[in-house]
Amino acid sequence: MQFLMAPGLRSRRKPTTEPPEPPAGGPRSGGESGPSPHRSAFRPDIEGLRAVAVLAVLAFHAGIPFTAGGFVGVDVFFVISGYLITGLLVREAITTGRIGLGDFFSRRARRLLPSAAVVLGAVAVAGAWLTVPLSRTDLEYDVVAAALSVANWRFIAQQTDYLAAGHDQSPLLHFWSLAVEEQFYLVWAPLLAVTALCVARAARRGRAVRSVVALLTALLTLGSFALSLRWTDHSASLAYLGSPSRVWQFGIGALLALLPWHLMRGPRVLRLLCGWAGAAAIVWCVVSYDASTPYPGYAALLPTLATAAVILAAIPGRGERYVEGTYGVGRLLAGRAPRAIGRLSYNLYLWHWPVIVLAEARFGTLDWPVKAALTLAAVLPALATMRWVERPLRRSRTVSEHPRRGLSVGVSSIVFPVVLALLVGTTALNLLGPATPVDPQGLPPGAASGPHLLARTPGMPLPDGPVVPGPAQARADFPPDGPCEVAPSETRSPDCLFGAVDSPDRIVLLGDSHAGQWFSPMLALASQRGWALQELVKQGCPLPELAVDNPQLGRGYRECDTWRADSLERLRQQPKPRLIVIASLNRYTADVELLGEAWRRTLEPLRALGAPIVYIEDTPVPGIDIPACVSGNQDSLAACAFSREDARHPDPLARLIASGALPGVSSVSVNEVLCPGTGPTCPAVLDRILLYRDDAHLTNAAAVVLTPRLERLLASSGALPATTAAGTPRADGWTRLLRDDFDGPAGSPPSATHWIHDIGTCYPGCPAPRWGTGEIETMTDSTDNVRLDGKGALEIVPTRKDGTWNSGRIETRRADFAPPPGGVLRIEASIALPDVTGTKAAGYWPAFWALGEGLRDGYTGWPGVGELDVMESVNGRDTVFGTLHCGVLDGGPCLEPVGLTSGPQPCSGCRTAFHTYAVEVDRTPGAEEVRWYLDGRVYHRVTADRMDPATWKRTVDHGWFLILNVAVGGNLPLADGATAGPATEPGHPMRVDHVTVSTREGPDR
């Protein structure tokens, strides 16, 4: 169990070395109704028992051989705390008839919280030096949670969140047990105080208090133990770290203090055997238990009852006082050395784990002898804290005189580390940059082929800039599939349909979280074709038929087997899908033959469906927390590269597919671009894209930019319709770079693979308000303004509400559409203009155009970088025109701001039917020009000789991105004699049947 390999214990120094003093005049003796359980005499054997517990945990954390079960020390401490605290409170209730909660919490605060505050403060400061920024922010959150005594619930949330896997161990993970105990104090003391008040006037108060509290304790103990068993079977981290599932261990200790053991008589030899048997059982657990032990559950009974046996063995009988037996285990535990360690146990426990973890954060994984030495070194700060913090505050008459002073010390001990953590954490967040979610529409276009991750214009270097997503963003950059990646405890996936959910055609995405990381590309490819995407994905569940254990459940993963069988049966009963895409982590077993046979068993019913099956080979597994590494090495990203050999294991399924042993199953791989070349390492960042969100999974951003490559691979395998494949020359010599037929369900947005939305009234930074043209609309990404019509066309619709105009404007995600050297670029669309005329059309301004890629990032440099207006029309005229903008803002070779325009071209049917508009950028040597077409007829040309060579080159020698929009109002409609007014009628769409971008090589190629 993963969390058992981290600190699992909370140690305590003795809380009852001095017995509580009853108020003056109060009874001091212990008849049957007096303050028995079990007298307030100091128990040196319990102080020594703390030493046993803390040494077990320290050995476990140091990784000393044969101490893998040392985590049972936490059970020992919980029983001790339940016994001592309950005895203290019940004695006070019997003696005084009430429990002074102010005094109780004041004592707890001044004894426990200052030492913890010192450690938390030291960790917060040391983390700023020893950890990278992203780990530092996690650590400061841990400091706050630990200071507020809710660390266990923070770690429960992290341990049960499979998608948050891959983070480094927290230096404060051991504070979970402090939180559990402090939560016990916060509930138990008030509960006993209320009980004491209810029976304060009973004739035999001692017996009444003990009886009522014992009954209450027994019920809580049984309920908590039942809950522990249930949680151990369903959520091991919740069972291990949760306070409700640990109450029963405090309850066992409480029952020791409440039941009348002191009235029992019996041979001393039974006590002798009881004590030694308990001690031997604790040692046996330390040696025999390990990470595979289902815990706590039934396994926790043994160390818990063993601790109770040791404590019970030395409880004085009737008329006896506490005396160490000559041969009892208590005599050994009461020795000077165990007691000295027991007194130090609390501070030693606080210090040892941060020392180990922060050292490993600085120097890497350490062997057990080094960790043992570091644990020994932690004695020094532990002694210093006990000598100069704990003891002075415990013994200070000034502090102990009034409860509020002790409480003030406690509050200060909470506030100090919280404030310090917030200061350090805020500094780290400033270094990390924004943590806002990544906008997939703002990502640069991915390359469909070639050695680069991103599409690039030949010869143009990648622009500088920060990595995307940033390290903080990467941590949360999950696929946007909601609850469809089902948790370990679930046995059935919900009906997870996306895209064109009513379509009879669908892609099925099937597997574990390594299949789930391909959700966004698969959704884009399905939506582009008007298909649905069905996701059947379960966390940590191998798709090959393997029996595995689950670390979150802490046992055999039965839910995985049930889910796998259910998913295969659902697919058998449903209509045959168009495509099944499978993927899975390739590391559930090191036995290659076993894994291959497990794949065969799973694929047999899948192949029987008759649908094409494509296996996406498992992506590299870095094995290190990539976002954390990048956060500390943003100027030297190569430092986060990881071993190729360790990251890419042999893939038996890919080999089976390649051998032809599985007809109907093909495989594709993107690993050649994720881990390019043949060197010893794989990169963490490619083309400024941060590839991994943890130690094993791709960021959603990386998956999105891999979409064009996956589309090409799937098309070339025959799994997707070949008509959508890009990058392959056709018989006429044209190579299609983009084709969008706008297929999809009515009311859905255009494909996020191809298009991004422009929002608002200007580009980021607003270099040109109102889009630089005086338009009056606000652009939105609402499907009220930009949507598919369900019949194979895109609609861009201007709307008006309360006098405010909204409309839509979309750009191609790619900005690298460029003619090849000496060749031709063709941009084409089939468009039906808004069917509105006259005064109702005043201010309408539909357009299809392209801008030079230099404007994509800086939004400045117009018009020199070039603009191609493929089609514009204003005010509902039966005319269209094309224009080239270039040169300088006023005048120049392009006669700006008008541009080199064709002027209005008649087109009487352009509002009622689709017509094809195109522009070609021809770079043929000696005949360079730009040509405009309407339904295949050239109606406008601009040749290179219209301007000087430098201006021409700057205008056409680069990539372009395409824009479709319907503006409202602005300079051009106004120049035509009309603008939007009360009579202008909203709701008339510009419809686009398709958009195509193609290139043709020059005659010399």
pLDDT digits (tens, 9 = 90+) for 98-107: 889 999 999 9
Looking at residue 529, its pLDDT comes to: 80
pLDDT at 148 exceeding the cut of 90: yes
Question: Is 537 within 8 Å of 510 (Cβ atoms)?
Answer: yes
Q: Locate 324 and state its tokens.
A: 């160490």
Residues 17-59 pLDDT 10s? 333 332 333 333 333 444 455 555 678 999 999 999 999 999 9
Tell me the pLDDT of the chain averaged across its residues: 87
Token couple for 759: 């929002």
Instruction: Please state the rounded mean pLDDT for residues 770-788.
Output: 94
Q: In the predicted model, what is the mean pLDDT of residues 519-532?
A: 89
Instruction: Please state, in angstroms and rounded to a whole number, the distance separating the CA atoms of residues 141 and 579.
Output: 44
pLDDT at 240 over 80: yes
Residue of higher predicted confidence among 755 and 270: 755
Give the pLDDT confidence of 685-708 residue by residue, as tens digits.
Answer: 999 999 999 999 999 999 999 999
Residue 871 phi, psi (nearest 5): -155, 130
DSSP annotation of 902 reads: -
Q: Is the pLDDT of residue 167 over 70?
A: no
- Band of residue 165 on the pLDDT scale cut at 50, 70, 90: very low
Of the listed ranges 274-288, 597-611, 847-861, the least confidently predicted one is: 847-861
pLDDT in tens, 922-967: 999 988 999 999 988 899 999 999 999 999 999 999 999 999 999 9
Q: What percent of the chain has pLDDT over 70?
A: 89
Which range, of 104-118, 323-337, 616-630, averages the lowest pLDDT? 323-337
* 257 and 38 Cβ atoms separated by less than 8 Å: yes
Q: Which residues pair with 933 in a beta bridge?
A: 918, 938
The better pLDDT of the pair 457, 715 is held by 715
What integer pLDDT is reported at residue 518 of this predicted model?
A: 97
Q: What six digits make up the tokens of 136?
A: 């530092």
**Which ranges of 235-335 does DSSP label H, i.e. alpha helix?**
236-241, 247-258, 268-288, 301-313, 329-333
**What is the separation of C-alpha 286 from the centre of its chain, rounded to a whole number of angstroms?**
35
Give residue 604's pLDDT.
93
Position 355 scores a pLDDT of: 95
| pLDDT > 60? residue 123 | yes
* pLDDT above 60 for 722: no
In whole angstroms, what is the distance from residue 232 CA to residue 296 CA? 7
Per-residue confidence (pLDDT) for residue 164, from 0 to 100: 47
pLDDT of residue 598: 94
Lowest-pLDDT range of 22-31, 79-88, 713-722: 22-31
Residue 727 has pLDDT above 60, yes or no: no
DSSP 995: E
Peptide bond before residue 769 is cis, with ω within 30 degrees of 0: no
What's this model's pTM, rounded to 2 decimal places? 0.68
Q: How confident is the model at residue 442 (pLDDT cuts 50, 70, 90)?
A: confident
User: CA 223 to CA 737: how far, in whole Å?
Assistant: 66
In this prediction, residue 190 carries a pLDDT of 94
- Extended strands (E) in 562-617: 579-583, 613-616
Element (H, E) at 850: strand 844-852
Residue 317 has pLDDT above 90, yes or no: no
Q: Is the pLDDT of residue 204 over 70?
A: no
- Tell me: the pLDDT tens digits for 367-411? 999 999 999 999 999 999 999 999 998 888 888 778 888 889 889
CA dist., res. 386 & res. 379, Å (int): 10
What local confidence, expressed as pLDDT, does residue 25 receive?
Answer: 32
| pLDDT at residue 7, as a whole number | 36
